[in-house]
């Protein structure tokens, strides 16, 4: 475990690049003799030179962005374009964070203080006070320590090291359980400005774990992928469209479509991102899932928000259990679904079904239209299981009467025309006819 107190005499030897070792050694020497302005200037020189050497390392390994950056730098240096070189220096920390993920957003803030103090040390015009800027021993030592701790000791931290640090963020005990808070947390990580290769590795890592890890962890991995898509939606769409076809196809070949549905339940839009060949197989499987008639298929509710899956679900609506239909209507207030719930009630084949299905309709009475209320009233007089279950049927009619869904005259007309008081042996319906809520 790293000691919280850094030994300055050991820092320079632990720097990654040759130039950083030289400049940090100078900074430490200046600090020891009380030349704090010179020490801070050398610390900043160590950061800039180390950044350049990091880019050279990446360039030699075939990194295209680093190569482009260094070619531009050499062009300005060889042409002695000082304004461009100064611009390059000003953007060192921004580039280290946003383009290469060498440092985090918080580390940018800490290292920026070094640059600010360096400017105060070497540019008198920056400090307008009478006395020259005189940094303290404590702030100088802190700058030396932060430069080493956050930047100088590391090789170009890209690839596996950045991926691993991101995975540690997701797996940490303090990672928010609330999605909105989790997204904000990720926006302050390397995921805020990820390189394409890093994001591609992260997406593939989560997808592979969705399909290969223990099934009980599927929702955990699906959530992590969904959070990434919330932070970098356009880039994630592009990656899934172009680079994940084999992963999804293998999952289908291995009979793991249920895991794809778990993923879609969290992010239904993902269906339109995956390859067309995989989409068609998912939609085909969804038909048989709908026909399973299991209460456990409540994830279908989430799928209803995506148009292609909505069309499949509508085509199989006759197979869906009432629990699923109820949740779909609660979520989307879809009138055809409400009509189907009415159909199921009117087709009740036992007193138990009359009770359970009537209870569902009672919840949605305020949303019933006049024609739907008339259909329910007429239908219940034609089904012995409904009018024979007088208590539960009366509860539904009373709920309609008390809800204010109909004018008093319309409600009275239905009750009298269908002789509901006598059929249901419910004299208390007469009391509702004078209820002010229906007037």
Q: Give me the pLDDT at residue 125, please.
A: 60
Closest-CA residue to 197 (of 66, 108, 344): 66
CA angle 116, 117, 120 (to 5 degrees): 95
- Give, rounded to a whole angstrom, the gap between the first and last alpha carbons of the chain: 77
Q: Give me the pLDDT at residue 202, please.
A: 92
Write the CB contacts of 37 (distance below 8 Å, at least 6 apart in sequence): 121, 122, 132, 133, 134, 135
Q: Give me the pLDDT at residue 145, please.
A: 94
Write the CB contacts of 58 (distance below 8 Å, at least 6 apart in sequence): 65, 66, 67, 100, 156, 158
- Whole-angstrom Cα distance, residue 102 to residue 149? 12
- Whole-angstrom Cα distance, residue 311 to residue 100? 44
Closest-CA residue to 166 (of 188, 145, 144): 188
Q: Give me the pLDDT at residue 234, please.
A: 92
Q: Between helices 137-147 and 105-122, what is the axis angle to 10°?
A: 130
Rounded to two decimals, the pTM is: 0.59
Q: Give me the pLDDT at residue 331, please.
A: 92
Q: Mind listing the pLDDT tens digit of every residue in the chain (439 residues)?
A: 344 446 788 899 999 999 999 999 999 999 999 999 999 999 999 999 999 999 999 888 787 888 999 999 999 999 999 999 999 999 999 999 878 878 877 889 999 999 999 999 987 665 556 667 889 999 999 999 999 998 998 888 654 567 877 898 999 999 999 999 999 999 888 788 777 778 888 999 999 999 998 888 999 999 999 999 999 999 999 999 988 888 998 888 888 888 898 889 889 999 999 888 888 888 988 888 888 766 667 788 989 988 999 999 999 998 999 999 999 999 999 999 999 999 999 999 999 999 999 999 999 999 999 899 989 888 888 888 887 887 778 788 888 877 777 776 787 788 788 777 676 655 555 665 555 444 4
Q: Give me the pLDDT at residue 431, please.
A: 62
Q: Give me the pLDDT at residue 201, please.
A: 86
């Amino acid at each position: 475990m790293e000691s919280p107190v850094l030994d300055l005499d050991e820092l320079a030897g632990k720097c990654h690049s040759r130039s950083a070792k030289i400049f940090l050694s100078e900074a430490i020497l200046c600090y020891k003799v009380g030349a704090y302005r010179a020490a801070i200037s050398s610390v900043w020189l160590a950061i800039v030179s180390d950044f350049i050497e990091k880019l050279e390392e990446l360039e030699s390994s075939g990194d295209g962005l680093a190569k482009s950056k260094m070619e531009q730098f050499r062009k300005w240096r060889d042409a002695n374009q000082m304004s461009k070189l100064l611009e390059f220096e000003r953007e060192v920390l921004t580039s280290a964070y946003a383009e290469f993920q060498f440092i985090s957003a918080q580390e940018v803030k800490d290292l920026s203080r070094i640059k600010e103090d360096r400017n105060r040390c070497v540019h008198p015009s920056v400090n307008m006070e009478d006395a020259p800027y005189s940094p303290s021993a404590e702030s100088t030592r802190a700058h030396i320590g932060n430069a080493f701790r956050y930047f100088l000791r590391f090789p170009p931290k890209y690839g596996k090291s950045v991926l691993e640090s991101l995975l540690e963020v997701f797996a940490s005990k303090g990672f928010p359980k609330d999605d909105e808070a989790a997204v904000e947390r990720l926006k302050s990580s390397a995921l805020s400005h990820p390189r394409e290769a890093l994001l591609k590795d992260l997406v593939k890592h989560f997808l592979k774990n969705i399909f290969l890890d223990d099934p009980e962890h599927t929702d955990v991995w699906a959530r992590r992928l969904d959070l990434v898509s919330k932070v970098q939606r356009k880039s994630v769409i592009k990656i899934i469209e172009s680079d994940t076809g084999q992963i999804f196809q293998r999952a289908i070949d291995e009979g793991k479509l249920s895991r794809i549905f778990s993923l879609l339940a969290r992010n239904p839009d993902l269906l339109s991102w995956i390859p067309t060949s995989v989409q068609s197989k998912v939609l085909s499987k969804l038909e048989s899932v709908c026909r399973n008639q299991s209460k456990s298929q409540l994830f279908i509710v989430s799928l209803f928000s995506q148009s292609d899956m909505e069309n499949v679900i509508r085509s199989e609506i006759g197979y869906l259990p009432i629990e699923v239909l109820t949740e779909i209507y609660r979520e989307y207030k879809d009138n055809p679904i409400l009509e189907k719930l009415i159909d199921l009630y009117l087709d009740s084949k036992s007193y138990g079904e009359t009770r359970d299905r009537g209870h569902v309709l009672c919840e949605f009475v305020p949303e019933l239209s006049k024609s739907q209320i008339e259909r329910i009233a007429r239908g219940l007089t034609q089904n012995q299981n409904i009018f024979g279950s007088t208590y539960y049927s009366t509860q539904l009619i009373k709920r309609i009467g008390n809800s204010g869904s109909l004018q008093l005259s319309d409600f009275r007309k239905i009750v009298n025309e269908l002789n509901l008081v006598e059929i249901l042996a419910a004299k208390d319906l007469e009391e509702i006819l004078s209820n002010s809520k229906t007037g």
